[in-house]
Amino acid sequence: MRRAATGLFALSLACEPPPPPAPAPVEALPAVAPPAVDEPLPEGPCVPALRGSTPAPLRDALDALGWSSAYEDACAMEAARESGDPAACDGLSLTRLRGPCRDRVAVAAGRPEACSLDGELHDPFCVALASRRPALCRAVPLGRRAACEALLGTRARPGPDEDRCGRSDVPDGPACRALAGTFAALVPSERVEGGRTELAVRLRTVRSVPLGSGRSVGEPEEDDLGDRELGATLRWDGCERIVRVGEDDASSPRRPRYFVEVRWRGPVPARVQAGEGARVEVERDSFGEASAGGFVGGDARVDITRLEPELGGRLDLTVRGALTRSPGQVELELAVETVLRDVIGAPGVSCE
């Protein structure tokens, strides 16, 4: 184990994750030519009607750029939404429209698993709307979170909030209203009042030092980190579950910081001991210089007490352990109550 820097408390359990893959090269947008089309979509009554209703300057600009296929794509997007088939989006000639197309189909059909992918994870804005779960708006990046809350509300107050985009904490109200307006017709009025789970993260630490023949125990230090919780992810690797929650970025300037990754097989409740598939990092400025040595007595553990393995499902876990801190030790308890913002993969067919 490495030694923590001054002003930092960190504990790391086994199973360090592999380094992230190198980012894919960014494909430059063609100057004039659209992406190649294997077979043009058949022209139906939608296409001539759309061309006829498009202002002439815009129509001429699209034709000059060689993007006349945008009409076919627009009609195909509408047909895909009406059919509820996200696979129909894969035939769009303009590849940059395929993700937005899938998101609209997923939201309209209430199928979060059909949302477009943002790296390995599904797009969080689409997932929240397709799940109809206000709590999942917390996992949406700030630029789109207000639009999500305008449509679904929050975990504490579910339901549409027409004034959300106009509040002072929204940097671009017009863009927020435009995004919410785009998806408003796709979210049914019968919102599911799911996601009322209070997202909670509580960190409690107690320091003790030798004093004479006994020990001096300090006052507990407690942190409420609920505002930091953005949801957890569950990934299946065969029959093994991999749950991750918190910020996996040690360079983050925010303190306290926490991150938990747990790998295990078998049912829930489950207990994962140190060295058996758990990794935990906790940092607090107020700890001072501390040793990130092994857990006292080897009794560190992560208890997963609840896991509902679907999007928006509940996850409850608790980390308990103790770290040596010369001349004493620090006992730690981290309790996390959250929801799954994404589920990747599925259990293998041979899993019990």
Is residue 125 situated within a structural domain? yes
Beta strands in the chain (DSSP E): 117-118, 121-122, 200-211, 214-217, 221-224, 232-237, 240-246, 257-264, 270-273, 278-283, 301-307, 314-325, 328-344
Last residue of a domain, one of 158, 184, 210: 184
Distance CA(34)–CA(172), nearest Å, equals 31
Same domain for 159 and 240, yes or no, is: no
How confident is the prediction along the chain (352 residues), in pLDDT tens digits per residue? 334 333 333 444 444 445 545 444 434 334 334 434 434 444 458 888 888 888 888 888 888 887 778 888 888 898 998 888 999 999 898 888 999 999 999 999 999 989 998 888 899 999 999 988 888 888 898 889 999 999 998 877 778 888 999 999 898 999 999 999 999 989 876 655 554 456 788 988 887 777 767 677 778 888 888 877 788 999 999 999 999 998 877 666 677 788 899 999 989 999 998 778 888 888 776 555 443 434 444 457 899 999 999 888 889 999 998 876 667 777 889 999 998 989 998 888 877 6
Same domain for 260 and 337, yes or no, is: yes
Query: Can you give the pTM of this predicted structure?
Result: 0.70
Domain that holds residue 136: 46-184
Is residue 191 situated within a structural domain? no
CA quadruple 94, 79, 111, 163: dihedral sign: positive
Same domain for 115 and 240, yes or no, is: no
Distance CA(20)–CA(55), nearest Å, equals 47
Is residue 334 situated within a structural domain? yes
Distance CA(242)–CA(233), nearest Å, equals 8
Distance CA(107)–CA(86), nearest Å, equals 10
Same domain for 293 and 172, yes or no, is: no
How distant is the alpha carbon of residue 266 from its chain centre? Answer: 25
Is residue 23 situated within a structural domain? no
Distance CA(46)–CA(44), nearest Å, equals 5
Same domain for 339 and 210, yes or no, is: yes
The answer to whether the beta carbons of residues 189 and 98 sit under 8 Å apart is: no
Same domain for 338 and 209, yes or no, is: yes
Same domain for 179 and 226, yes or no, is: no
Nearest to 12 by CA among 264, 258, 272, 281: 281
Tokens describing residue 260: 């938990």
Same domain for 215 and 169, yes or no, is: no
